[in-house]
Structure 1
């Protein structure tokens, strides 16, 4: 039987089963893991159509175990998630239904994927050693590539979320690595991940800076209100004026050069010190103006 005839027969069987089981597919869509099953089958079909069913089963299996690692880690931390959702030729994703409490929790959930992914292809190592079949070597290679790629320290990859507990500045190293790989591979998907990573790096860096500035301003306002509430009981403003003069001198020494330039994200700590000094100067001047 030639290949074209064989494909026609299998296609006919597929259409028949689809027609008979469409009610089951409709039911699956409304179940908790129905979306996972349907999207997994779509991805499997897409990979199988281009690379054969053995390759399709292997890569879908590796991705599935990887995503289950995230789900298990999230459950251990009490984080609510959506079921895994497969995207052909991209991979799969799990959405968090609530913001993660801190960087440590985010790192733990992210780490679950590559850890499960590592375990997923270990049986293929033993099978390759036992049988010598090239297919098992392919499974090992795919598993290693999927998980090592995900460990590049840049968001939205797992590696970027893992190192966020240390410092998001490490993301810059990941961006450089991913940028080199994007140029070498010329893959549109890698360029897309690179663009997302750049925006994520920028936003996370600015988020830390903004939160620091807002926290400082909140403390200054609270201290200013507390100070004003004590003014009616003061017998003399001499000590307060002297304290404000000392605060002005300290603020000016911390501001540094007026025309100093800062590298975005990398010098945000220095810029935050300068902005805090400007804030101290402003409130000191306001206090002196009211006395």
Structure 2
């Protein structure tokens, strides 16, 4: 898989080919477990999530690479320029789950319209992965958004990750824990009086309140939708 991705990049096929090629690899991989139609829908939901980040980064004038997919890990966009402050980082971080939630909501209404178990399962997956991404720990989107309060809030996400690992043991969660460790170390040593921190984490009280309300509202909505659909699927919709 790494070789194929390297060939796509080295062959100068461009960002579209790299994104399309890695999406195809993911679809094939997921199809072996979940079937073709679910695999296609699931990858498209992730694509919409990542495009939310991509568009938001472009709106803020940042150079950003197209989405790249890795099966059973997810996808990401490569920020070639880092946000200059926490407000920009929160804006870009929020855009992904917001776009992903809208996409899952569309799939949910289609599932009810056409009485489709497949679409309902896809809607559940869409709501769930966006909810998971809002756990307040870096490098997840929730960590990027919640940092408008303080990076030390990331420690609230640690028991949530442990809970997920207990109920859904997965190598992906181990990878996430490895990526989160240096961020948590930085949060532990965070000094709000440091001049660099003062500059990066400077944000108005109004913006801080706005992002906090948006974050909480999205978490509540996704939690309700995930729970309700889970109950319906459990009854054999």
TM-score, normalised relative to structure 1? 0.61
List aligned pairs for 1:250-265, cutoff 5 A.
none
From 67, 75, 100, the counterpart of 2:83: 100
CA contact (8 A) 2:152 2:187 kept: no
Counterpart residue number, 2:159: 176
The CA RMSD over aligned residues, in Å, is 2.3
From 195, 212, 218, the counterpart of 2:194: 212
Q: Secondary structure at the match of 1:92?
A: strand
Q: Secondary structure at the match of 1:79?
A: coil
CA contact (8 A) 1:175 1:198 kept: no
From 9, 20, 32, the counterpart of 1:49: 32
1:82-108 deviation line (CA, Å, top 9, x unaligned): 111100111101111012100111110
Q: Secondary structure at the match of 1:86?
A: strand
Distance (whole Å) between structure 2 residues aligned to residue 106 and residue 214 of structure 1: 16
**Structure with bigger gyration radius:** 1
Q: Secondary structure at the match of 2:15?
A: coil
Q: How many residue pairs end up in the alignment?
A: 191
Deviation of the 1:191 alpha carbon: 2.3
CA contact (8 A) 1:179 1:194 kept: no
Structure 2 unaligned segments of length 5 or more: list them. 1-7, 198-237
Deviation of the 1:119 alpha carbon: 0.8
From 41, 59, 65, the counterpart of 2:42: 59
1:165-213 deviation line (CA, Å, top 9, x unaligned): 111121011111111221222222112212322321112443x339728
Counterpart residue number, 2:126: 143
Identify if the C-alpha distance between structure 1 residues 79 and 196 changes in structure 2 by more than 3 Å, giving closer, same or farther: same
From 36, 45, 54, the counterpart of 2:19: 36
Distance (whole Å) between structure 1 residues aligned to residue 12 and residue 132 of structure 2: 31
Counterpart residue number, 1:78: 61
Confirm or deny that 1:186 pairs with 2:169: yes
Structure 1 unaligned segments of length 5 or more: list them. 1-24, 216-291
Q: Secondary structure at the match of 2:83?
A: coil
TM-score, normalised relative to structure 2? 0.74
List, as ranges, runs of 4+ consecutive aligned residues in structure 1 with deviation greater than 4 Å: 25-29
Identify if the C-alpha distance between structure 1 residues 128 and 196 changes in structure 2 by more than 3 Å, giving closer, same or farther: same
